[in-house]
Amino acid sequence: MIQEMAKDVVNAKERCMDAYEKAVTLQEKLNDAITLIDPSEQLETLPEGGLFHGVPIALKDNVNTKGILTTAGSRILSNYVPVYDAEIVTKLKKEGAVIIAKASMDELAMGGTNLTCFTGPSLNPWDTNRMTGGSSGGSAAMVASGVVPMAIGSDTGDSIRKPASFCGIVGVKPTYGRISRYGIIPYASSLDHVGYFTRSIEDACISLQALAGRDDRDMTSSFKEVPDYLGLLNSDMNGKKIAIFGNVQDALTNPETKEMFAKLMHALEERGAKVDVFYFSEELMKAMLPTYYLIANCEATSNHSNLDGIRFGVREKGDSMEEIMINSRTKGFGPLIRKRFVIGSYGLFEENQDKLFRKAQKVRRLIVNELNKCLGEYDCLIAPASNDIAPLLNDTSRDQLSDGYLIVENHMVIGNFSGYPSMTVPMGFEEGCPIGVNLTCKAFDEVTMFNIGKAIEEITGYKDLTAEVK
């Protein structure tokens, strides 16, 4: 779709204006944007050619955009207008992309529901009584509803891949360092990845082609050459070795998801893939979520110490600098964020660093070692992205200490612990709502990930899915 759009130069203006008008119309139903951007000015200075010539896109609202409000979904940043563009914005503009929205997100990218944004929750296009998932839920909703063919997200635990599952689209978290993070408001620096949503594997290939590459302003970005992802796309599964994530498969409780996943694995075998089951240490599996919480919240507490109403953020009144900071942070942050900062601060206390923060880092290494054992033998690790379709907005029934939650709903964080490429693609539907399957591959082996994803797309037929918003 992106390729066809970019070639259709004549209709670029009409296409972008139509997308903007659709975004305005659906905003009342989905609340998926924080800021809508009239594309008229961008269309006047549109460069010739490019992979995204005249293609409307959306950016998660933690991506800095010069002269355009960038809130990261938080009240404390509701007055922040950056003076520079993030590197990915510069890249996309050079390729001719037209930005029509800054999408809704969980506050400061902390959350998996997209219910914590200061402008209210983003709603699922397939069923507006359900969550989009988070933290990149607004971006996912804008792609799933057909407003844009590609939207930028960020992924620290599964913040692209879970919303992709709930919204029936492709969600890509490439290898750590594959895309520059310069100009992205951080959550946890050792876990944060820039990624994106599309409605097809071909569009996912084109998007990474446009976004990838070294950036000297992000010292974690890679010098590795960027392959021609689309040119290398090949769905031949002969000789491919695929590992089913056994711990996740065993912890599934939804019979429909189990059956759907089993049929998909059988179909991959019929296409020539060798499919086995691989088990991780069960003890390490149950340690994934607490390990993630400790590392992520400690890093977030450090990263966001400047949001105090003095250096950054909306300033509340107070009789002293200390009182101004207390009032600004108390009113500027939602309850979930304040809770996470308490956890992070506790983990960073000098007396706690060895027994908590550094211990979590050691457990992270053990988990990555398990993944390396798997990917030393197999091309891909695969599992359902979730046990169920998107939860209802008021659903509080999940037991967050059960195996079904600890393992099934949190296993994708292994892609952040390792930095390896991971992608969710649509697998099927339950109750009229989508559910996805997740793939994780070796570092910088996005080519294999896309090829297996393409085979799955051909098996399911779920390409260019668009929800009809009611």
Residues taking part in catalysis: 60, 135, 159
- DSSP states along 400-437: TTSHIIIIITTGGGHHHHH---EEEEEEEEETTEEEEE
Strand order from edge to edge, sheet including 274-278: 33-36, 98-103, 56-60, 150-155, 193-198, 170-173, 422-430, 433-440, 380-384, 241-245, 274-278
Q: CA 372, 378, 381 angle in degrees (round to 5)?
A: 75
d(CA 425, CA 206): 16
* 268 burial type by CB count under 10 A (0-12 exposed, 13-18 middle, 19+ buried): buried
Q: What is the 3-state secondary structure (H, E, C) of 209-268?
A: HHHECCCCCCCCCCCCCCCCCCCCCCCCCCCCEEEEEHHHHHHCCCHHHHHHHHHHHHHH
Phi, psi dihedral angles at 162 (to 5 degrees)? -75, -45
d(CA 185, CA 109): 9
Q: Tell me if 389 sits within 8 A of 458, measured CB to CB.
A: no
425 Cβ partners below 8 Å, 6+ apart?
164, 170, 201, 436, 437, 439, 453, 456, 457, 462
Question: Which string of b and e fits 309-326 if b means at least 16 CB within 10 Å?
Answer: beebbbbbeeeeeeebbe
Distance of CA 412 to the CA centre of its chain: 11
Q: Own/partner pairs for 25-31, CB < 8 Å, 24+ apart? A: 26/125, 26/145, 26/147, 26/469, 29/123, 29/128, 29/469, 30/122, 30/123, 30/125, 30/128, 30/141, 30/145, 30/469, 31/104, 31/119, 31/120, 31/121, 31/122, 31/123
